[in-house]
Chain A
C-alpha cells in the first residue's frame, strides 16, 4: 500500500509561520520546506521569481545523492549542506529525517546567523512533523477525499 503524507490546514499554518520567522530572523531571501521525495511543502520570503517545483526536485535529488554517499562512507547521514555562490548561498538541512529545510541568503546575512536560526526552526519543525506523520497514519483530521472518488472521476481526468 502507498504510504501517504497528508498536510492539513493547521500544520501548514504552523510550518508557514516557522518559515516566515526563520526568513525574517536570518535575513534570508527565501526559505523552503521540501519533503524528501521532492515535493514542495511550504515557502516564505522572496519566492515569486523562484521555480520552486524544480528547486524542490533538484534539492531532493541532491540530498538523496549525498545520503547515498554517506552510506557508502558508513555515515548515518550528512545532516547539512552549504553551497556558496557569488551572490546567493544555499543552506540545506535535513529535519527529522523526513523533510529538507532550505535557506537561500545573500550578503545581508551570514552562514553563522543562518545556522543559528535554522537550529531553532528545526526543533519547532520536528514537533509539527511528528503531528503530521501521526495524523497521516491515523487518517484523523478530515475524511479522506479518496474514499469518495469514483472510476468515472478518474476516467474524466483523461478525457481530452
Chain B
C-alpha cells in the first residue's frame, strides 16, 4: 500500500500544482493543455488512491486518503511540490518528472500486481503525451529567445538537486522490486540521463553537474511548499466535511 500511495501522491500533488495554472496560462491553448495534463494526473491519483484505500481494508475511501492526511503522511517526491514559478519553470519541472514517469510506468506495465499493471496500462498513454509535450516545450524555450533560454536554464539549475531522489531506492522500493511488483530505479536512471541529455542538447541548455541531492519526500520529510499545497487542496473538505455537489 505504501508503494501505491507514493505513486498516488506524486500524481495528486503534481496535478494540484498544475491546476493552479488554470485560468492563468500564457495563452488559451496552453491553459487548456496544462489543465488537461493536470486532470490526467488527478485521474491517475484517483485510480491509485482508490486502490490504496482498498488495500487498507478499514473502509477508507480515496477521498479520505487525499484530503485527510497531513504533510508527514504524504510521500511524494520533493520535485513535484516545487513552486510553479514562471512558465519555463513549470515546463522544466514537468519535463524532468515526465521523462522519469514515462520510463517508470513503462516498467510498471510488467508488474506482478494486476491492479498496478492495469493502472499503468491506462496511464502510460497519457504519460507518453505529457513527456512529448514537455520535451517540445523545453526545446523551444531553451532554443528560443535569449530571455527564454536564460529563464529555463535557471529553472533547470534550481530543480536539478531534486532529481536525485527519483532514483534513490529505499527499503520499500527494494522490497517491491524483490517481489516483482515495483520498478528497479537503477536502469530507469540510465534511461533518464540519456533522454534528458538528448533533449537538453537540442534545447542548447547546459546540464548541471550532479552535486548534493535533496531527499526525504518519499519518507514524508517535505519542503515548506507542501503545506501550502495541502492547505489549498484540503481546505474545503476539512472545513465542510459533508459538502457535496
Do A and B form a real pair? no
Report A's interface with B, CB cutoff 8 A. none
Report B's interface with A, CB cutoff 8 A. none
